[in-house]
C-alpha cells in the first residue's frame, strides 16, 4: 500500500477579484522509500499542492475537494488539532529559506528538542538532546554543534539542520519545497545526496518540489510535471526522460543544457502562463504550445494512461492512444 | 597591450576591512581583512563572452563590480581599451561607464519600482546629457527596447516594473544598458532568477547583441552548464582566485583542476542514474579573512600533496590558451 | 505626445491610489472631516460676518446660542461661529505651511544623512538628536518670545522645531533603499550623487514623507493652538487657539460660557483627528509593508 495517496486534490485561493484555481485534480501516489519529483515553473501550483498536503495553506487558501491518504487515512478533512498530531510525526516539510525558519536567538539544539517534545513528551531532556545529537550525525553534522546558533552555520549546513528537524519525529513522508534553491551547486549536490541516502536507508517517502527538472531527474524515481495548476505528465523518471509526451515537458527538457552535445540555444517557449482566475476553457498550455491544433482551444485534456505507468494530459497523445488501441 | 583585447585585468585585488565590534576595535588593533578578490588575471577579447564561474563567496561578482569601479579595487590594474582605469578622473569615469555596463541578477530589484519603463531607459541618456531633444530621446529609447527584443516598444513607455513579467523586466534592464551603446557588459547572473522557459530567450538576445553590435561580455554565473552553453571561454574562481581558465568546451570536456573536476561532476544530468560518479567535495569554501596556507583548495582536495600545503600555485599555461593553477597539473 | 503621456500617467497613478484608499473606512471619515473644514476655511468667511457688537447692542454680549447666533457670542458680542470659521483659516494655514517647512528640512537632512553616511551622518544625526530631546514647548515659547509673536514667526518656529522625528524616519528608509540594486544600477549608468538622491531615493521615500506630512500637520495645528492659548500667538488674527486664549482670560469657565470654549476645542480635536485618520490611512495605502495582503 502507498504511504501517501493523493486523489483529485483541488485547492483554490480566494481573492477579491475571484478564485485563483491554483491547483486542480492533482493525483499521485508515493511508496515507501520512493522519491517523487513535483516539477513546474513558478506559479504552476506545485507549492500549493505541497502546502495542501501538510495543511499549511495561507488563510485565503482552501482545499475544495479530493482526498489525501496517509497510511490509509484521509487527512483532507482533518481539523487543525488533528493535523498537529500527525505533522512532524507522519509528514513533515523542509522549506526553501532555512534562515527564516530558525529562531536566531536560540541554539538550533533547543529548537529541535522543542519539536521532539511536542510528540514524545515521555522522553526526558537528556534523551531528547541525545536524539538531537543522533539526528545531527544522521545529517552529517558534528554532534557537538547542537549548541550553536543558526548564524554560526553556513547556508548548506543550515539546510541540513532543517532536514534534521524535519526528521526529528520519524515521519515517513518528507516534503522538500525547493530545499536546495539558492544554494551553491556543490552544496546543492551534497544536500540532494543526503536526502537520497536518507530516503534509501530509512525508507522515507520523499516528495521533492522543484523548478529544476535536471535536479529532480537525478534524485527521484517518479516525476509529476505541472503546468498552470494541472498535472500534464506523470511517469517514472527514466521513461519520462526517454520519451516525454507532453509538448510542455518536451520544451522543458530541451531547455536543460545537455553537456557533451552540440552547444545551441533552444528557442524559448513564447508567451506566459494563463491567468488562473479565469483559466482558458480548453488546454491551459494551448496558447504557448508548438503542436496545438484547433481542438485544443475548446476541449480540456484529461490525464490518461499511455502505458501502465505513463500518464499524460494532452489531446494529441490521447487521440494517438485511442487510435492504436482502436 | 594586445589590441584585440577590450579588457585586461592584472592582479586585481579587492580586500575589505571586516567590520568588527567596538570591543574588538578597542582590544586589538588589527582589523581582519576579507580577501574577496585576491589577485585575478584575465583578458577579454573584443566580441568575446567569458564566463566567470564559481560558488557564492568566490569573489566573482566583486570582480565584475571592481572592473566597473562600482567597488573600489585595493590593488592591481584594469585596462579597458588600453586605458588604466585606476587613473581615471571623475569625468573620464563617467565616459567609461557609457561604454561599460552591467546587468544585475534580480530584475525585480534592479529597476526602480517608481520609475516608468521610459524613465528607466531614458535615464542613462539624461544623466550623461547625451540628448535633450524629447523626440530623439523617445526614438533612442524605443530602439533600445526593440533591440532588447520587446515588440511595440512604445507600448511599454508608461508601464511600471510591477506590471511586467520577470523576463520583460530583465529585457528592460538590458535596454537601459544598451541605450548608451556600450562595448562591454558585465552580466551578473542575468537569468538565475528567471524560469527555465524564459532563460533561453534572454541568453539568445545576449548572443545576438554580441554578433550584431560586437558587445563583449563578462558573464558571471554559478551554473557551469550555462557557462558552457553560451561562452567562448570559462574562468573558474575559487576563494578569490581564478583556478582554471580556458575554452568552454575544454573546461567542461576535460577539466584539469581538481576543483573544476568536482564542479563539472555535479552538474545535474538526468540521464545519469543517481549520483554514481559525482565527486562531492567535503567541507566548505574557506573563510576569506583567513584562507589556508599554500593552495587555498588543498583542505578539500583529494589529490593534495605536501607541496600544496606550503606553496601557493600560480596560474600556468598548460596548453595553448589554457591556464591552471595547480601544482599537480 | 509626451504631454499626453504625463496626463495618462497621472490618471493611472491616481486611480490606483484611490482604489486602495477607498477601502479604508477611517481614512474616508478623516477625509470627510478635512474637506468640511477646508470648505469652511475657504468660503465660510464670506457667509458670516464677524464684527464686535456696537454700544447699542450691549445685550448681545455673552449670549448663549440662539437662532440668530447659532453658537452664541463672546464678551465683545462677536459671533462665536464666525470666529470659528475665521479661525479655521489661520489654524489650517499655520498647520500646513509650517508642516511644509518641517518636511523640507526633515527630508533634506534625512536623505543626505542616510545616503552619505559617515561623518555627515554623524553630525546631522547629533543635530537631530538635539532637536529631539529639547522639550519643544519651552523652545517654541522662547523662540516666539525672541522673534516676536506674529503669524510668520509662529509658522517658522513650529516648522523648525518639528522636523527631527521626520528626519529620523526618512534616514532609516534611505538607509534601506540605498542598498537596493537599482541604486547600484543608477551608479553604473553614471548618475551623480545628487541625481541618485533626487530621482531614486526621494520618489521612494516620498510616500513616507507624504503620510508623515499629514500626521505632522495635526501636530502643527495642535502646537499653534498651544502657542496661541499661552498667549504667544498673533493677537491680530483669530485662530482657534486665540479664541481659547481670550475665553480663558475673560474667565469663560467661571461664568459658565461653555459655548465659547467647547466649539474651538472641538474644532481642534476634530481637525487633528481628521489629519491623523487620513495620515494613518495613507501610511497603509502608500507603505506596501502595511498594506493588507492582496494575494
Please give the grid coordinates belonging to residue B170.
530583465
Domain count, chain B: 1
pLDDT value at C2 more than 60 = no
10 Å CB burial of residue A132 (0-12, 13-18, 19+) is: buried
Cβ atoms within 10 Å of A32's Cβ, excluding its own: 15
The neighbours of chain B, by the rule of 3 or more Cβ pairs under 8 Å, are A, C
Q: Parallel, antiparallel, or unpaired: how do β-strands B233-238 and B49-53 relate?
A: parallel
C57 in a structural domain = no
Q: What is the percent of chain C where pLDDT is above 70? A: 86
The answer to whether A266 contacts chain C (CB < 8 Å) is no
Tell me, rounded to whole angstroms, the distance of Cα B229 from its chain centroid.
16
**Chain B residues touching residue C176 (CB < 8 angstroms):** none
Please give the grid coordinates belonging to residue C195.
541625481
CATH no. for residue C116?
1.10.3720.10
**Chain C residues touching residue B116 (CB < 8 angstroms):** 9
Q: What's the CA gap between C216 and C102, in Å, rounded?
A: 8
B329 in a structural domain = no
pLDDT value at A12 more than 90 = yes
C226 in a structural domain = yes
The C-alpha angle A118, A120, A126, rounded to 5 degrees, equals: 105
What mean pLDDT comes out for the span B269-284? Answer: 68
Q: How many CA atoms lie within 13 A of B264 on its CB side?
A: 21
C86-107, pLDDT tens digit by residue? 888 888 888 889 999 999 999 9
CB contact under 8 A, A267 and B204: yes
> Under DSSP, is residue A318 helix (H, G, I), strand (E, B) or coil?
helix
CB contact under 8 A, B111 and C184: no
Please give the grid coordinates belonging to residue B108.
525585480
Q: Which residues pair with A208 in a beta bridge?
A: A37, A176
pLDDT value at C136 more than 60 = yes
Shortest CB distance from C187 goes to which of B70, B113, B138? Answer: B70
* Per-residue model confidence (pLDDT) at position A48: 92
Q: In which order are the strands placed within the sheet that holds A4-15?
A: A18-30, A4-15, A61-70, A73-74
The answer to whether A72 contacts chain B (CB < 8 Å) is no
At residue B241 the predicted structure's pLDDT band, cuts being 50, 70 and 90, is very high
List, as one string, the DSSP characters of C93-129.
HHHHHHHHHHHHHHHHHHHHHHHH-HHHHHHHHHHHH
Q: Parallel, antiparallel, or unpaired: how do β-strands A173-177 and A91-94 relate?
A: parallel
* Per-residue model confidence (pLDDT) at position C295: 33
* Per-residue model confidence (pLDDT) at position B216: 94
Q: Is the torsion defined by CA of C142, C144, C147, C153 positive or negative?
A: positive
Q: Are B173 and B144 in contact (CB under 8 A)?
A: no
Q: Which of A315-319, C60-64, C89-93 has the lowest mean pLDDT?
A: C60-64
Touching B: A residues 144-183, CB under 8 Å: 154, 156-157
What mean pLDDT comes out for the span B121-137? Answer: 87
pLDDT value at B50 more than 90 = yes
CB contact under 8 A, C295 and A13: yes
The answer to whether A262 contacts chain C (CB < 8 Å) is no
* Per-residue model confidence (pLDDT) at position B220: 94
Give all strands (DSSP E) within B72-197, no chain letters: 75-80, 83-84, 100-103, 184-188
Radius of gyration of chain B (CA): 21
Cβ atoms within 10 Å of A138's Cβ, excluding its own: 18
Distances (CA, A) of A277 to A59, A272, C285: 18, 15, 25
Please give the grid coordinates belonging to residue C199.
530621482
**Chain C residues touching residue B89 (CB < 8 angstroms):** none
CB contact under 8 A, B269 and A211: no
Separate counts of helices (H) and strands (E) for chain C: 13, 0
Instruction: Specify the DSSP class assigned to residue A227.
Output: E
Distances (CA, A) of B118 to B111, B122, B155, B175, C263: 12, 6, 10, 10, 52
* Per-residue model confidence (pLDDT) at position C1: 47
* Per-residue model confidence (pLDDT) at position B232: 93
pLDDT value at A326 more than 50 = no
What mean pLDDT comes out for the span C245-263? Answer: 77
pLDDT value at B181 more than 70 = yes
Mutation for C interface: B123, B126, B138, B139, most C CBs within 10 A = B123
C205 in a structural domain = yes
Domain count, chain C: 1
Contacts 24+ apart (CB under 8 A), A14-22: A14/A60, A14/A61, A14/A62, A15/A60, A15/A277, A15/C294, A15/C295, A16/C294, A17/A277, A18/A277, A18/A278, A19/A277, A20/A276, A20/A277, A21/A229, A21/A276, A21/A277, A21/A279, A22/A48, A22/A61, A22/A229, A22/A276
List, as one string, the DSSP characters of A84-149.
HHHBTTTEEEE-S-TTTTS-TTS-HHHHHHHHHHHH-TTS-HHHHHHHHHHHHHHTT--GGGGGS-
Q: Are B85 and B69 in contact (CB under 8 A)?
A: yes
Rounded to the nearest 5 percent, the helix, strand and coil shares of chain C are: 75, 0, 20
**Chain C residues touching residue B157 (CB < 8 angstroms):** 5
* Per-residue model confidence (pLDDT) at position A99: 64
C8 in a structural domain = no
Mutation for A interface: B197, B205, B239, B267, most A CBs within 10 A = B197
Q: Which of A29-38, A316-325, B188-197 has the lowest mean pLDDT?
A: A316-325
At residue B25 the predicted structure's pLDDT band, cuts being 50, 70 and 90, is low
Q: Which residue of C has its CA nearest to B179?
A: C189
Q: What's the CA gap between A6 and B193, in Å, rounded?
A: 31
Q: Are C96 and C155 in contact (CB under 8 A)?
A: no
Q: In which order are the strands placed within the sheet that holds A311-312?
A: A91-94, A173-177, A205-210, A35-39, A222-227, A230-236, A311-312, A304-305
C56 in a structural domain = no
Mean pLDDT (chain A, rounded): 87
Contacts 24+ apart (CB under 8 A), A152-158: A153/A108, A154/A187, A154/B284, A155/A98, A155/A99, A155/A182, A155/A183, A155/A184, A155/A187, A156/A183, A156/A184, A156/A187, A156/A190, A156/A191, A156/B284, A157/B284, A158/A98, A158/A99, A158/A102
Q: What is the percent of chain A where pLDDT is above 90? A: 32
Instruction: Specify the DSSP class assigned to residue A270.
Output: P
Q: What predicted TM-score, i.e. pTM, was given to this entire model?
A: 0.81
10 Å CB burial of residue A211 (0-12, 13-18, 19+) is: middle
Residues of chain B whose beta carbon is less than 8 angstroms from a beta carbon of chain A are 55-56, 165, 167, 195-201, 203-204, 207, 222-226, 228-230, 248-249, 252-253, 262-263, 266-272, 274-275, 278, 280-281, 284
Q: Which residues pair with B84 in a beta bridge?
A: B79
CB contact under 8 A, C189 and B157: no
Q: How many Å lie between the alpha carbon of C174 and the closest alpha carbon of chain A? A: 24
CB contact under 8 A, A16 and C295: no
B221 in a structural domain = yes
The answer to whether A188 contacts chain B (CB < 8 Å) is yes
Q: What's the CA gap between B60 and B64, in Å, rounded?
A: 6
> Under DSSP, is residue C153 helix (H, G, I), strand (E, B) or coil?
helix
What mean pLDDT comes out for the span C111-117? Answer: 91
Q: What's the CA gap between C176 and C114, in Å, rounded?
A: 9
pLDDT value at B260 more than 70 = yes
Domain that holds residue C190: 24-48+71-294
Radius of gyration of chain C (CA): 23
* Per-residue model confidence (pLDDT) at position A325: 47
A279-300, pLDDT tens digit by residue? 898 999 998 888 888 888 888 8
Q: Are B291 and B241 in contact (CB under 8 A)?
A: no
C63 in a structural domain = no
Q: What's the CA gap between C172 and C115, in Å, rounded?
A: 10
Radius of gyration of chain A (CA): 21
* Per-residue model confidence (pLDDT) at position C293: 40
At residue C60 the predicted structure's pLDDT band, cuts being 50, 70 and 90, is low
The answer to whether C295 contacts chain A (CB < 8 Å) is yes
Q: Is the torsion defined by CA of B131, B133, B134, B139 positive or negative?
A: negative
Domain that holds residue B39: 5-324
CB contact under 8 A, A213 and B270: yes
The neighbours of chain A, by the rule of 3 or more Cβ pairs under 8 Å, are B, C
Q: What residue has cell string 539546510?
A: A159
C263 in a structural domain = yes
Backbone angles phi, psi at A38, to 5 degrees: -110, 110
At residue C188 the predicted structure's pLDDT band, cuts being 50, 70 and 90, is confident
CATH no. for residue B204?
3.40.50.300
CA-closest candidate to residue C206, choices C11, C17, C5, C19: C17
Amino acid at each position: 500500500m502507498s504511504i501517501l495517496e493523493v486523489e483529485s486534490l483541488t485547492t483554490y485561493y480566494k481573492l477579491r477579484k475571484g478564485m485563483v484555481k491554483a491547483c486542480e485534480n492533482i493525483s499521485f501516489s508515493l511508496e515507501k522509500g520512493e522519491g517523487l519529483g513535483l516539477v513546474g515553473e513558478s506559479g504552476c501550483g506545485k507549492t500549493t499542492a505541497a502546502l495542501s498536503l501538510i495543511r499549511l495553506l495561507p488563510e485565503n487558501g482552501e482545499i475544495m475537494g479530493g482526498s489525501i491518504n496517509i497510511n490509509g487515512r484521509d487527512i483532507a478533512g482533518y481539523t487543525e488539532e488533528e493535523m498537529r498530531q500527525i505533522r512532524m510525526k507522519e509528514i513533515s516539510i523542509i522549506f526553501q529559506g532555512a534562515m527564516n525558519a530558525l529562531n536566531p536567538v536560540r541554539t538550533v539544539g533547543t529548537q529541535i528538542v522543542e519539536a521532539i517534545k511536542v510528540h514524545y513528551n515521555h522522553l526526558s531532556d537528556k534523551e531528547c538532546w541525545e536524539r538531537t545529537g543522533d539526528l545531527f550525525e544522521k545529517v552529517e553534522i558534528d554532534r557537538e554543534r547542537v549548541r550553536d546558533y543558526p548564524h554560526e552555520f553556513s547556508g548548506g549546513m543550515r539546510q541540513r539542520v532543517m532536514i534534521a528537524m524535519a526528521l526529528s519525529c520519524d515521519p515517513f513522508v518528507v516534503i522538500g519545497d525547493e530545499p536546495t534553491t539558492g544554494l551553491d551547486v556543490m552544496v546543492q549536490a551534497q544536500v540532494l545526496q543526503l536526502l537520497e541516502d536518507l530516503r534509501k536507508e530509512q525508507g522515507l517517502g520523499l516528495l521533492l518540489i522543484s523548478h529544476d527538472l535536471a535536479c529532480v531527474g537525478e534524485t527521484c524515481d517518479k516525476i509529476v510535471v505541472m503546468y498552470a495548476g494541472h498535472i500534464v505528465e506523470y511517469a517514472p523518471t527514466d521513461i519520462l526522460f526517454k520519451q516525454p509526451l507532453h509538448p510542455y515537458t518536451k520544451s522543458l527538457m530541451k531547455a536543460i543544457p545537455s553537456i557533451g552535445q552540440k552547444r545551441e540555444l533552444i528557442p524559448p517557449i513564447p508567451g506566459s502562463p494563463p491567468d488562473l482566475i479565469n483559466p482558458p476553457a480548453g488546454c491551459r498550455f494551448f496558447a504557448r504550445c508548438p503542436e496545438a491544433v484547433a481542438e485544443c482551444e475548446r476541449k480540456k485534456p484529461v490525464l490518461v494512461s499511455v502505458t501502465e505507468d505513463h500518464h499524460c494530459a494532452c489531446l494529441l497523445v490521447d487521440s494517438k492512444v485511442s487510435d492504436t488501441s482502436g | 597591450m594586445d589590441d584585440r583585447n577590450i579588457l585586461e585585468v592584472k592582479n586585481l585585488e579587492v580586500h575589505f576591512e571586516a567590520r568588527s565590534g567596538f570591543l574588538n576595535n578597542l582590544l586589538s588593533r588589527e582589523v581582519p581583512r576579507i580577501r574577496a578578490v585576491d589577485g585575478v588575471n584575465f583578458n577579454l577579447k573584443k566580441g568575446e563572452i567569458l564566463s566567470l564561474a564559481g560558488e557564492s563567496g568566490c569573489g566573482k561578482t566583486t570582480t565584475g563590480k571592481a572592473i566597473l569601479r562600482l567597488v573600489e579595487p585595493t590593488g592591481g590594474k584594469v585596462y579597458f581599451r588600453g586605458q588604466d582605469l585606476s587613473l581615471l578622473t571623475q569625468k573620464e569615469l563617467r565616459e567609461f561607464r557609457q561604454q561599460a555596463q552591467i546587468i544585475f541578477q534580480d530584475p525585480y530589484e534592479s529597476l526602480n519600482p517608481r520609475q516608468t519603463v521610459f524613465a528607466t531607459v531614458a535615464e542613462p541618456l539624461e544623466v550623461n546629457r547625451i540628448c535633450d531633444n524629447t523626440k530623439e530621446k523617445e526614438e533612442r529609447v524605443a530602439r533600445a527596447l526593440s533591440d532588447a527584443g520587446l515588440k511595440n516598444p512604445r507600448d511599454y513607455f508608461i508601464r511600471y516594473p510591477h506590471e511586467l513579467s520577470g523576463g520583460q523586466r530583465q529585457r528592460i534592464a538590458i535596454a537601459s544598458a544598451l541605450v548608451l551603446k556600450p562595448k562591454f557588459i558585465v552580466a551578473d547572473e542575468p537569468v538565475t532568477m528567471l524560469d527555465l522557459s524564459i532563460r533561453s530567450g534572454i541568453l539568445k538576445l545576449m548572443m545576438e547583441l554580441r554578433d550584431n553590435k560586437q558587445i563583449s561580455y563578462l558573464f558571471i554565473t554559478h551554473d557551469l552548464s550555462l557557462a558552457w552553453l553560451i561562452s567562448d571561454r570559462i574562468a573558474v574562481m575559487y576563494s578569490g582566485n581564478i583556478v582554471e581558465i580556458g575554452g568552454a568546451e575544454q573546461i567542461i570536456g576535460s577539466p584539469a583542476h581538481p576543483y573544476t573536476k568536482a564542479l563539472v561532476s555535479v552538474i545535474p544530468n538526468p540521464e545519469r542514474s543517481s549520483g554514481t560518479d559525482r565527486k562531492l567535495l567535503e567541507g566548505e569554501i574557506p573563510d576569506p579573512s583567513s584562507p589556508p596556507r599554500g593552495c587555498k583548495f588543498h583542505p578539500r582536495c583529494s589529490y593534495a600533496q605536501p607541496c600544496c600545503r606550503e606553496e601557493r600555485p600560480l596560474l600556468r599555461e598548460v596548453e595553448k590558451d589554457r591556464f591552471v593553477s595547480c601544482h599537480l597539473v | 505626445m509626451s504631454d499626453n503621456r504625463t496626463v495618462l500617467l497621472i490618471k493611472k497613478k491616481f486611480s490606483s491610489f484611490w482604489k486602495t484608499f477607498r477601502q479604508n473606512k477611517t481614512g474616508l471619515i478623516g477625509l470627510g472631516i478635512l474637506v468640511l473644514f477646508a470648505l469652511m476655511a475657504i468660503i465660510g468667511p464670506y457667509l458670516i460676518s464677524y464684527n464686535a457688537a456696537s454700544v447699542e447692542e450691549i445685550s448681545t454680549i455673552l449670549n448663549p446660542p440662539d437662532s440668530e447666533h447659532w453658537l452664541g457670542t463672546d464678551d465683545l458680542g462677536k459671533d462665536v461661529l464666525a470666529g470659528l470659521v475665521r479661525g479655521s483659516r489661520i489654524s489650517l494655514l499655520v498647520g500646513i505651511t509650517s508642516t511644509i517647512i518641517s518636511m523640507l528640512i526633515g527630508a533634506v537632512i534625512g536623505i543626505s544623512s542616510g545616503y552619505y553616511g559617515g561623518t555627515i551622518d554623524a553630525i546631522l544625526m547629533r543635530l537631530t538628536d538635539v532637536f529631539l530631546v529639547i522639550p519643544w514647548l519651552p523652545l517654541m515659547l522662547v523662540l516666539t518670545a525672541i522673534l516676536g509673536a506674529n503669524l510668520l514667526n509662529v509658522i517658522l518656529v513650529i516648522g523648525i522645531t518639528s522636523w527631527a522625528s521626520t528626519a529620523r524616519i526618512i534616514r532609516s528608509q534611505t538607509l534601506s533603499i540605498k542598498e537596493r540594486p537599482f541604486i547600484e544600477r543608477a551608479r553604473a549608468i553614471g548618475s551623480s550623487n545628487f541625481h541618485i538622491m533626487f530621482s531614486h531615493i526621494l520618489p521612494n521615500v516620498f510616500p513616507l514623507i507624504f503620510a508623515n506630512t499629514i500626521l505632522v500637520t495635526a501636530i502643527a495645528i495642535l502646537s499653534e493652538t498651544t502657542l496661541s492659548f499661552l498667549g504667544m500667538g498673533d493677537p491680530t488674527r483669530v485662530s482657534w487657539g486665540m479664541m481659547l486664549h481670550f475665553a480663558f482670560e475673560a474667565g469663560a469657565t467661571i461664568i459658565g460660557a461653555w459655548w465659547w470654549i467647547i466649539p474651538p476645542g472641538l474644532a481642534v480635536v476634530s481637525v487633528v483627528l481628521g489629519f491623523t485618520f487620513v495620515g494613518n490611512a495613507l501610511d497603509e495605502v502608500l507603505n506596501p509593508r502595511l498594506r493588507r495582503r492582496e494575494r
